[in-house]
């Protein structure tokens, strides 16, 4: 069986060899395997040193202090801790939360749970086709009892960038806490939590060539007293998230983030060329429309909807050639069209014939050329399954 071209980096990334090396050093008896919380011997001290180094590496990427980095099991837990932890402080007051219709399910499902507890949630509708959520929309939604704004930095399906700096300034002006899901932004765009007035920010290891099962939540130091712990048992992570630290995963995430910071500019430049190459080639095959903003986006994602007579045929052939997604990985088992694309104004039919390409470290120009060449050959076959789009 021939391997598919991997174009699903938004779902997960392979761990880099140099990161794997760092992880392995924290597993065996002759490495840093100790419990970082064991402070009575050098095994614990050595492990704690590696954890502190990784905390600094995460903080460096987002321009934060290492004491503001809280380890979690991933961005989903970070999102839950951020929203539920803040909401718990106001659960008797039925406060108001602002988010958008195109957030990750970890945000939408958490907001739905909070709504069941009496919170009012406003779901902003993004700009049609582009997916932009603007500061003007946020300003119009603010109420006297608004306590939290939660928006993603980079959309995980279409790659559109949110103007978090403008929204952060607005939140600060109104003394509203601002949470940002940056799982898809780390290593792809510059992040400065102070400049953007971000109070809480969620991060994931496996989206940045680190291990799965590890993430972090940035919590501004003055906000930490307002965050109610969700996992108790030992008082780890400044009392905000208990549980023995997974040293090997933490070290892997730290190493991956350090590499991502070093390569951010050059990698975005390289991937932008590949993205444009694929987009131009797809437009020559059939009628196709772009999902997302044509300019305000990172280079890693290209979401398209096929709307010509070959829509079904092309989407099926692409899936035979490349590992791609039709939506986010958390929704891939759901046959329903992407909630993100529907919120952009795409019809259910257009959303059904949509592909999310996501590029990464091992994507080459040859991959793009091969994919486009195979699609051109496919369209010349008389038995191609054509579909008339209405």
Residue 389 contacts residue 309 (beta carbons within 8 Å): yes
* Cα 156 from Cα 227, distance rounded (Å): 26
- 386, part of any domain: no
Please check whether residues 123 and 141 belong to one and the same domain.
yes
- 389, part of any domain: no
- 166, part of any domain: yes
Please check whether residues 98 and 118 belong to one and the same domain.
yes
Whole-model pTM?
A: 0.94
Please check whether residues 337 and 225 belong to one and the same domain.
no
- What local confidence, expressed as pLDDT, does residue 382 receive? 73
- Name the catalytic one among 26, 111, 196, 330: 330
Please check whether residues 254 and 272 belong to one and the same domain.
no
- 284, part of any domain: yes
Three-state DSSP state, 384 = coil
* Cα 302 from Cα 278, distance rounded (Å): 9
Q: Total domain count for the chain? A: 2
Residues 6 or more apart whose CB falls under 8 angstroms from that of 51 comprise 36, 71, 245, 247, 250, 251
- What local confidence, expressed as pLDDT, does residue 390 receive? 41
CATH number of the domain where residue 287 is located: 3.90.1150.10
Please check whether residues 192 and 78 belong to one and the same domain.
yes
* Cα 146 from Cα 135, distance rounded (Å): 15
DSSP state of 95: -
- What local confidence, expressed as pLDDT, does residue 90 receive? 87
- What local confidence, expressed as pLDDT, does residue 350 receive? 92
- 387, part of any domain: no
Please check whether residues 271 and 254 belong to one and the same domain.
no
Please check whether residues 293 and 333 belong to one and the same domain.
yes
Residues 6 or more apart whose CB falls under 8 angstroms from that of 149 comprise 97, 98, 99, 138, 167, 171, 176, 177, 178, 179
* Cα 111 from Cα 119, distance rounded (Å): 8
CATH number of the domain where residue 42 is located: 3.40.640.10
* Cα 39 from Cα 46, distance rounded (Å): 10
Catalytic residue list contains 330: yes
Of 235, 258, 281, the last residue of a domain is: 258
- 388, part of any domain: no
Q: Show the domain range for 39.
A: 17-258
* Cα 289 from Cα 269, distance rounded (Å): 23
- 41, part of any domain: yes
- 127, part of any domain: yes
Please report the DSSP string for 6-75 in residue order.
E-BTTT--PPPHHHHHHHHTTTSTTSS-S-TT--SSHHHHHHHHHHHHHHHHHHHHHT--GGGEEEESSH
Please check whether residues 65 and 126 belong to one and the same domain.
yes
**Could you list the mean pLDDT of each consecutive 10-residue stretch along the chain, which spans 390 residues?**
90 98 96 94 96 98 98 98 95 90 98 95 97 98 97 97 98 97 98 98 98 98 95 88 96 98 98 98 96 97 96 96 78 72 94 96 98 96 55
Please check whether residues 47 and 95 belong to one and the same domain.
yes
Instruction: Write down the residue that tokens 């790659």 correspond to.
Output: 159
Of 231, 258, 285, the last residue of a domain is: 258
Of 258, 292, 312, the last residue of a domain is: 258
- What local confidence, expressed as pLDDT, does residue 388 receive? 42
- What local confidence, expressed as pLDDT, does residue 389 receive? 47
């Amino acid at each position: 069986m021939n391997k598919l071209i991997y174009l699903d980096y938004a779902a997960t990334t392979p761990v880099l060899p140099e990161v794997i090396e760092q992880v392995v050093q924290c597993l065996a008896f002759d490495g840093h395997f100790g419990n970082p919380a064991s402070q009575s011997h050098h095994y614990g001290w050595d492990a704690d040193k590696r954890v502190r180094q990784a905390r600094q590496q995460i903080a460096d990427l987002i321009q934060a202090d290492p004491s503001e980095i809280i380890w979690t099991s991933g961005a989903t837990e970070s999102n839950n801790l951020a929203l539920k932890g803040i909401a718990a402080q106001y659960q008797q007051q039925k406060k108001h939360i602002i988010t958008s219709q195109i957030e990750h399910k970890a945000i939408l499902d958490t907001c739905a749970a909070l709504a069941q507890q009496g919170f009012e949630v406003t779901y902003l509708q993004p700009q049609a086709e582009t997916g932009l959520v603007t500061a003007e929309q946020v300003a119009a939604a603010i109420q006297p009892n608004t306590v939290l704004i939660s928006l993603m930095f980079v959309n995980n399906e279409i790659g559109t960038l949110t103007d978090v700096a403008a929204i952060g300034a607005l939140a600060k002006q109104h003394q509203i806490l601002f949470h940002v899901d940056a799982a898809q932004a780390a290593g792809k765009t510059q992040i400065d939590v102070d400049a953007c007035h971000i109070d809480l920010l969620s991060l994931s290891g496996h989206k940045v060539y680190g291990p799965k099962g590890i993430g972090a939540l940035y919590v501004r130091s003055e906000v930490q007293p307002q965050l109610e712990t969700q996992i108790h048992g030992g008082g780890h992570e400044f009392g905000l998230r208990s549980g023995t630290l997974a040293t090997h995963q933490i070290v892997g995430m730290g190493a991956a983030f350090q590499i991502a910071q070093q390569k951010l500019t050059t990698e975005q430049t390289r991937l932008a060329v590949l993205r444009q190459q694929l987009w131009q080639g797809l437009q020559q095959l059939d009628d196709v429309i772009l999902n997302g903003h044509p300019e305000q986006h990172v280079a890693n994602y290209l979401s398209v909807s096929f709307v010509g007579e070959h829509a079904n045929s092309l989407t099926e052939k692409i899936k035979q050639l490349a590992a791609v997604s039709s939506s986010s990985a958390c929704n891939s088992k759901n046959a329903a069209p992407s909630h993100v694309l529907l919120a952009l104004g795409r019809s259910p039919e257009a959303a059904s014939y949509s592909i999310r390409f996501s590029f990464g470290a091992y994507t080459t120009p040859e991959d793009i050329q091969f994919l486009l060449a195979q699609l051109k050959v496919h369209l010349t076959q008389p038995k191609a399954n054509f579909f008339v789009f209405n």
